[in-house]
Structures are given as C-alpha cells and as structure tokens.
Amino acid sequence: MSERDNANLLGLALKKRLGAGDLILCLTVRYSRTVEIVQIAKLAGYDSLYLDLEHSAMTIEASAQICLAASMAGILPLVRVPGHGHHHISRVLDGGAQGVIVPHVDSAAEAEAVIEASCYPPLGSRSLSGLGPLAGLSVDTENAYRLINENTLRIVMLESPKAIANADEIAATEGVDMLLIGTNDLCAEMGIPGRLDHDRVRESYQAMADACKAHDKAIGIGGIKEGPMLQDIVAMGGRFIMGRVDSALLGQAAAKEKWPISGHSRPRIGPRRRRDRLSP
C-alpha cells in the first residue's frame, strides 16, 4: 500500500479541504463514552469530532476507543487536551487522535511548546510509539515521522485579549495549522460574558483572521453556532466550526419530542442570552 492509497490519513485530507475553502463541521463530544457516538456523527454528516478532555471526566482510554472507531469510519478524530503538558498531548496522539486542540495559548512560546510535544523530530521531540494512522502502510521510520507530522492537525485556541494581541506571532509559529477562538472564554476575559455578538468579538476574529491569512493558517470558530456573527466570521475566512455539544443536541431533540405531546410550551435548552433591556 502506498502512502497515497492510505485512506487513514484523515488529518492530511482535512487540511487539504480547508486549503480548498471547504466548510468543516466538528461535533463536540463531552458526555458520550462509547463508540456509538461515531455512528451518530457519521450518519449526521459531520466531518470531524473532538473529544473534550478539558471540560469532561472522560478518560484517555475512552477517548482512544472513540478515536480508533472514528478513524475507521472516516471521521477525523481530534482531542481537546486539558493543558499544554507533553504528557497530555503525546498520549492522546499515541491513543489514536489525528489532531489536538490546545486551549489557552497566549503567546508564540506556548505555541512552540505545543509543536514540541506534538511533532516528531525535526519539528519537535515527540517519541515514536506505533504507527497509528499509518497502520498497514509499508513505510520506513524516516518517512513515518514525516507522514505523521504532516497528518497531525494542530489547533491552538486563543481565549484572552493577550492571545488576540499576539495572534500574528502565534500564527507565525511553524507547525501550527489553525488558530481558533474560544469565544465564551474570550468574552469572559473581556468582561462581556455571553455577549457573543459584541463588536469586540468581531474585532477579535478580524485580528485573528488577518494573522492567519498572513501566515497561511486556517481559521477556527468556537462557541458561535449560528446567526449573523457566524456568517460574518465565515466571510472573514473561517472554515472550521466547533459544533454543538452532544448533550445539548440530545436535550434539544428530547424537548422537541416531549413538549408538543404533553401540551406545554417548549422549554429553553441552555443559558439565556443577555439582553440590553429587560422585556416588560
């Protein structure tokens, strides 16, 4: 089998799609613990899923099982790690993730540490532990390093005013594939919690988009699922969208079925948006 024939290199394929301008929708998996979530994502048409180890009690073992199933199903498996440590990043990659999402990256130095932990030499210092997505491919060690480095999707999250101010130097970091704003945390840091449609949010995305375009990096969107702000960011070049959390999707579907049957009005699922004025 040649490297061209290896359909398991999903990260490389998705990078090419992003480069071609395709919109990518990624399911957020926070509460599911078994591989059935992969079938749901596949049938629903998601391009990718990410397992949220930052905001859940999910174990690395559970994430590894879901990553393997996703790879076999042709859905790119990503993991959002809980921190910047190499022991977080390298272990989820060894477990089958074909990319990592690293939260709270505020500087080029922190971005460089992500590359150090997630890349094999010469880009980083990750140690080789099995072939992962190269399983079944006849390839020597030197090319294995190169192929897995090329295939691994490395996403850094900008979630503070400091990170936005440093967006250009973060985007210039070799090995970083995408910058993605965690909009809810950014709003909290800016003192405008929940104001996802605020002008400062739009300005932050524009600053990140300018940096990404200058350094040929993909633009990711976190926390904004619909509405005019999402359309504005897509117009800026945003192409990777973090979709809704699995539990939120289940809650919405359950409410849609239950409340018409019971004769009551449908409850709101999730936090209420802040309004400029109180309704009468």
The per-residue pLDDT for range 231-250, each reduced to its tens digit, is 999 999 999 999 999 999 99
Position 261 scores a pLDDT of 62
Number of other residues whose CB lies within 10 A of the CB of residue 45? 8
pTM: 0.89
What Cα–Cα distance (Å) separates residue 279 from each residue in 60, 145, 198, 269, 276?
Answer: 46, 59, 20, 19, 9
Res 2 pLDDT > 50: no
The answer as to whether 272 is a domain residue is: no
The answer as to whether 98 is a domain residue is: yes
167 neighbors 208 (Cβ within 8 angstroms) = yes
The two structure tokens encoding residue 116: 């150090």
Confidence of residue 275 (pLDDT cuts 50, 70, 90): very low
Q: What percent of the chain has pLDDT over 90?
A: 77
Any idea how long the chain is? 280
Q: What is the pLDDT of residues 120-137, one digit of tens each?
A: 999 999 987 766 666 666
161: domain CATH number is 3.20.20.60
Position 277 scores a pLDDT of 33
Q: What is the pLDDT of residues 3-22, one digit of tens each?
A: 555 668 999 999 999 999 99
Q: Residue 222 is part of which domain span?
A: 10-262
The answer as to whether 243 is a domain residue is: yes
The answer as to whether 3 is a domain residue is: no
DSSP state of 219: E
Identify the residue with better confidence: 99 or 264.
99
Position 256 scores a pLDDT of 83
The two structure tokens encoding residue 200: 């400062």
The two structure tokens encoding residue 4: 């061209």
Position 279 scores a pLDDT of 31
The answer as to whether 213 is a domain residue is: yes
Across 171-180, 235-244, 259-268, least confident range: 259-268
Active site residues: 55
Q: What is the pLDDT of residues 34-72, one digit of tens each?
A: 999 999 999 999 999 999 999 999 999 999 999 999 999
DSSP state of 238: -
- As for how many domains the chain has, the answer is 1
The answer as to whether 22 is a domain residue is: yes
The answer as to whether 2 is a domain residue is: no
Distance CA 184, CA 270 (A): 14
Res 270 pLDDT > 80: no
Give the CA count within 13 Å in the CB-facing half-sphere of 116: 10
The two structure tokens encoding residue 120: 């094999």
75 neighbors 10 (Cβ within 8 angstroms) = yes
The answer as to whether 109 is a domain residue is: yes
